[in-house]
Amino acid sequence: MQIARLGVDGVATLHVEAIRIQHLRAFSDARIDFAADAGPGEAAALSNIHVLLGGNGTGKSTVLRAIALGILAPVIERDPTLERAAWVRRAPRTGAGRNQMAADFATIDIDLRLHGQDLLRCAGKPPRMLPMQVRIERVGDLDLIDWYRPQDHVLARELRLIQQVREPSAFFLVAYGASRWVDHAQGGTSTASMPLPARRRQRVASLFDNRGLLPLAAWLPAFSLHNPGRYRQVVSLMDRLLPAGCRLAAAPPGEATRFDMEGIVLPFEGLSDGYQAYVGWIGDLLHQLCMGAPSGRRLVDNQGVVLVDEIDLHLHPAWQRALLSTLSQALPNLQFIVTTHSPLVIGALQPENLIVLDHTDAAGTCCRRLPERVHGRSADQVLLSPYFGLASTRPTAVGDALERLRRASQDGDPAAAAAYLQLLSSGEDPA
């Protein structure tokens, strides 16, 4: 991939421009271009939101992990935990692709846009593109991860700087897996004292293994005592990110973090599973921003990439509708790349925000954007659209009964026609 210089447009810019995945798990050869402009006459999309959707096993989580590997390979290569995973694509034993040869290695190529926050030599200059490549080679029972170092001396020098960057805000990437949970029983694992490479690895840990997130109570009370400016920023952001009726409760400096739920003050452990799931990763994200932001820089000014698997996890439908718009507006300089199965999340977005993953036995998963607009449609309409491809949203037995009655009514059976209309309106089979 070639380096391309890009102009500054004054708008919050993307950080991952594109990714190409070859021979990695469900993918034979696929590419995603995250930069997509709205067409003429179309409403502007949320420019920092990208949603991956597709059936189970199509590779949505793999794309998130590939992005994390591609950006952080310089600090996580030769990680024994990751190298025990089966990354390199295996050939199918049955089906249409059974004659495919198994690959010996996989590659991940990422076009990454850099800012002054990432490399000082970029400060005050137009953002630029930097190609990153990871090669994963199958050796026995291990899949060895290696960061590609090009022969071009100028580019190689640029890439070596990444390993030498000492600024915690550089290459800011955080990720949250579908099994994320808050380690409030043990108090979590603070990253403040970790070496920077370990801290960067910790930021994405829950995407790769079942590791707990840092609870608000483990760090926010201390900020209220020792860094009141940052504390006020966190409280303001958290209140913007929470749904109506929930706020951080006022408390004397240093006291435990509590939440005001419609006038009732509760600890984190007293919140519902939905609130805990959401507050858990949002609180961890705000902590990582605090640890990475240089003194004097507002938290909302930090650039970076946030990966979230199953972003609608445990959330009420009303919250799902507004979730991504809330994140986009509250944290406009972060690029969110997320997965979901929720039609309510999808129905609040434009086609430019959506990437559909489809799996075929012969060619693996392909990634594409669809032209169809679903913004503002009902959940049923979204589920019946090409984004989900359901033939019906009714239970299988009801759908089968409708089809049987439809055919009978077409053959001239008046009783079947009446039963069809009743079933269509009530959902209950009169038989």
Instruction: Give the pLDDT score at 193.
Output: 67
pLDDT (tens digit per residue) in 179-226: 888 886 655 556 666 777 778 888 898 999 877 888 898 899 999 999
Assign 3-class secondary structure to 182-240.
ECCCCCCCCCCCCCHHHHHHHHCHHHHCCCCECCHHHCHHHHHHHCHHHHHHHHHHHHH
Whole-number percent of the chain with pLDDT over 70: 79
Range of 76-80, 218-222, 294-298, 336-340 with top mean pLDDT? 336-340
Least trusted range by pLDDT, from 80-84, 203-207, 282-286, 357-361: 80-84
Whether the model pTM is above 0.85 = yes
Say if residues 303 and 172 touch (Cβ distance below 8 Å). yes
Q: Evaluate if residue 165 carries a pLDDT over 80.
A: no
Element (H, E) at 329: helix 317-330
d(CA 176, CA 83): 20
Average pLDDT over residues 174-183: 90
Residue, of 23 and 151, whose pLDDT is higher: 23
Higher pLDDT among residues 123 and 227, named by residue? 227
* pLDDT for residue 1 is more than 50: no
Q: Mean of the pLDDT values across residues 393-406?
A: 82
Confidence at residue 63, expressed as pLDDT on a 0 to 100 scale: 97
pLDDT confidence band for 7 (50 / 70 / 90): very low
- State the average pLDDT for the chain: 82
pLDDT at 325: 95
CB-based contacts of 374, cutoff 8 Å, min separation 6: 346, 347, 349, 351, 381, 382, 385, 387
